[in-house]
Amino acid sequence: MNTLPQEFPSAHQKALFELLFEHSPDAIVVSDSNGQITNVNGQVEKTFGYSREELMGKPLEILIPERFRAGHPSHRQAYTSHASIRPMGAGLELYGLRKDGTEIPVDIMLSPVETSGGTVVLSVIRDITERKKTEEALRSTEQRFQLLVENIRDYAIFRMDPAGRVISWNAGAERLKGYRAEDIIGRSFACFYTPEDVARGAPEESLRVAAARGRFEAEGWRVRQDGSRFWANTVITSIKNPDGNLVGFAKVTRDVTERMKADESLRHSEEKLRALFEYSPDAIVTSDAHGRIQDMNAQVEKFFGYSKGELQGQSIEILVPERFRGTHPAHRKDYSDRARVRAMGAGLALYARRKDGSEFPVDIVLGPVETGEGRIVLSVIRDLTEKREAEEALQRSEREKSYLQEELNTESRFEDIIGESVGLKRVLKHVETVASTDVTVLILGETGTGKELIARAIHQLSSRRDRTLVKLNCAAIPTGLLESELFGHEKGAFTGAISRKIGRLEMAHEGTLFLDEIGDLPLDLQPKILRALQEKEFERLGSTRTIPINVRLVAATNRDLAKMVENREFRSDLYYRLRVFPITIPPLRERREDIPLLVRYFVDKFARRMDRPIETIPNDTMRALTQWTWPGNIRELENFIERAVLLSNGPALRVPLAELEVPEVSNSDGDSTLESNEREYILKVLREAKGRIAGPTGAAVRLGLKRTTLNSKMKKLGIERSEYL
């Protein structure tokens, strides 16, 4: 662009002006004294639909609706003769014409600019379509107007009678103009105008135009009650009754002094341009082709903690976290070779480094600026800390909602702990003792004994009951994903990490984390979870930002952790950290007096669900159920009863007792009899399931076990595939 003000003192400032020209939110058209277009910015293409090439050399009238074209040359010539900075067609409704023939309402600010080639005119064009819609809505009904009056404090909104006397006054008007309602109602609105405007009849003219055209809009100086002035945007709308007779006016006034000053500063002075640079809410750094920092705004000190003197001349890598410094020069050179305005590291999680070594998430937009001394790079850095925290809070809230929904939908609740045996009462006494503390609890017991039920009971009886109980089965998640599931990850932390994820540990903040099957936690993760528990903090994968946590841990396992420690399969320090308060749940075979209670509970539960009229349980059936060893414990009993209820067509429970018959074993070793019985029973069920382990008809469901647990048992008992197929 060759149409810059001569007062710009340096090529640097010229380049900055060009950058602002190109990326202005308003459309800017430059034309010569003959009305020929010599330059446009990118916003013109978006607003009017023409490419730059289609507009260059064309008359300005190409952007003007046909009904206005005849008179436009004379208006243009009149402006050229007395050129000044002013709005075009003040008080008139202006429209622009798009390439597709549609029209848009616009505001136009004209500004003459002296160049070496003569005077050119800068036309700053603002699409006011949305503002028009708002004003139309304001005029639609008196009721809607009144509602707006009562609730908007940033606008002075009031009504006048046909003579211009104030008849209503809102809080925004009192705040903006300084008059109380009792001081102004009944007075002429002319008191808001400057003496000069009153002398030339501006108040009366505005009412005349509004009455004739329905609307009058203008900008100019207005006067408050204390005599101070402000630059105002005012809209006066006529109010007519159903017969079309004028009954008054509505006036909306907005203080746009700051906008006017900003526009003026952008057009006229280096000082104002510097102020725009300095007071940006973002940190702005300029650096040369070698990455040395040349200049920065005040926000840099706030973001990074460095003074201007500490940064000038330093490599920009000083603001980059150490883990990225090795690759940053190559990225900087690549950008310098193909410089254009673009976001840095689009799609990646970017971080910057403060003077104290801490990091914070950022967005960075890079812009090349050509100067007489060479190219510099403008880095606009936005602190995303609050945004990230808001996103994480939302994600955490959504996941908490998911966990709470899961809790509401689960069938296992605290009140479902059934039994009167001494062993169960001892467990519940332990639960009552430890629940009110924050002590770590390790729940031990065979599969199906109700370890998760006890964990939930501890949570419900604790002071954390109003927060989330977050569960994680260490055996149910692939090892490669378990760390991410526990600690979460940042976007781009590994292949497939397309967005940030909040981990279970973070989700359990101020609540309870239940780690089921803790014996299956991989050795490489054990020191990490131990550190998080001891230090009460952790980092997500791909991040160095420390996140504090306050979590109560409850763990459970059916494995012999002490033996695993001896075999170096489990860390001793984590084992002792978990085993602060162990609770061992007895298997069902050791609390047989609870079996009748459980049977009746499950029969009633499934009979109601399946609409089966079961009234009695035969004595021989109950005796057989009580005598069975139930290797799958309560879960096996529950699944067995569900199947029995399904098979029962009459009032008496019909139980497939044949499934409870255990083949005789020749091994007389008392210590291994139970294990042998369990092995034979599992083989029997596997054969009945035709070798299928998972699925609704698989052996795991029949045994009341999880698929992973059954696989574990089969491995432990040495069951080979050839034995059941």
Would you state the pLDDT for residue 265? 63
C-alpha closest to that of 185 among 207, 167, 204, 199: 167
What are the residue ranges spanned by the domains of the chain? 22-127, 131-261, 286-381, 387-584, 592-723
Spatial distance between the Cα atoms of 226 and 176, rounded to a whole number of angstroms: 11
Query: In sequence order, what are the residues at sequence separation of 6 or more whose Cβ sits closer than 8 angstroms to the Cβ of residue 186?
Result: 165, 166, 167
Matching CATH topology for 387-584 and 592-723?
A: no
Condensed to tens digits (0 to 9), the pLDDT of residues 428-444 reads 999 999 999 999 999 99
Spatial distance between the Cα atoms of 182 and 466, rounded to a whole number of angstroms: 53
Query: In sequence order, what are the residues at sequence separation of 6 or more whose Cβ sits closer than 8 angstroms to the Cβ of residue 131?
Result: 105
Taking the CA atoms of 685, 687, 690 and 692 in sequence, report the sign of the dihedral they define: positive
* Mean per-residue pLDDT over the chain, rounded: 84
CB of 455 closer than 8 Å to CB of 568: no
Give the architecture-level CATH label for domain 286-381: 2-Layer Sandwich (3.30)
Would you state the pLDDT for residue 363? 85
Condensed to tens digits (0 to 9), the pLDDT of residues 613-671 reads 898 999 988 998 998 889 889 999 999 999 899 988 889 998 887 777 544 444 444 44
Amino acid residing at 514: F
According to CATH, the topology of domain 131-261 is: Beta-Lactamase (3.30.450)
Q: Which contiguous run of DSSP H or E holds residue 679?
A: helix 670-688
Q: Is the pLDDT of residue 251 over 90?
A: yes
C-alpha closest to that of 578 among 455, 422, 705: 455
Would you state the pLDDT for residue 140? 64
CB of 705 closer than 8 Å to CB of 447: yes
CATH number of this structure's domain 387-584: 3.40.50.300
Average pLDDT over residues 240-265: 87
Would you state the pLDDT for residue 721? 83
What string of DSSP letters covers 348-410? S-EEEE-TTS-EEEEEEEEEEEEETTEEEEEEEEEE-HHHHHHHHHHHHHHHHHHHHHHHHH-
According to DSSP, the β-strands at 488-489 and 501-502 are antiparallel
Would you state the pLDDT for residue 560? 92
Spatial distance between the Cα atoms of 495 and 104, rounded to a whole number of angstroms: 47
Condensed to tens digits (0 to 9), the pLDDT of residues 584-609 reads 999 999 999 999 999 999 999 999 99
Greatest distance between any 2 Cα atoms in the chain: 121
Q: Which two tokens stand for residue 456?
A: 């939930």
- CA 536 → CA 467, 542, 544, 682, 701, distances in Å? 18, 19, 15, 43, 39
Length in residues, the chain? 725
Backbone φ and ψ of 84, nearest 5°: -160, 165
Would you state the pLDDT for residue 416? 66
Would you state the pLDDT for residue 4? 45
Would you state the pLDDT for residue 343? 62
Average pLDDT over residues 450-467: 93
Would you state the pLDDT for residue 7? 47
Would you state the pLDDT for residue 25? 87
CB of 420 closer than 8 Å to CB of 556: no
Average pLDDT over residues 406-419: 57
Q: Estimate the share of the chain in helix, then strand, then coil, as percent rounded to the nearest 5.
A: 45, 20, 35
Condensed to tens digits (0 to 9), the pLDDT of residues 102-123 reads 999 999 988 888 887 788 888 8
Residue bearing the bigger pLDDT, 389 or 31: 31
CATH number of 22-127, picked from 3.30.450.20, 3.40.50.10490, 3.40.50.410, 3.30.360.10 = 3.30.450.20
Would you state the pLDDT for residue 684? 83
CB of 263 closer than 8 Å to CB of 257: no
CB of 112 closer than 8 Å to CB of 84: yes
Q: Is the pLDDT of residue 283 over 70?
A: yes
CA atoms within 13 A on the CB side of 416: 19
Amino acid residing at 709: T
Residue bearing the bigger pLDDT, 632 or 338: 632
What string of DSSP letters covers 169-195? --HHHHHHH---HHHHTTSBGGGGB-H
Would you state the pLDDT for residue 601? 93
Spatial distance between the Cα atoms of 126 and 88, rounded to a whole number of angstroms: 12
Residue bearing the bigger pLDDT, 227 or 721: 227
Would you state the pLDDT for residue 698? 85
CATH number of this structure's domain 592-723: 1.10.8.60
Would you state the pLDDT for residue 96? 93
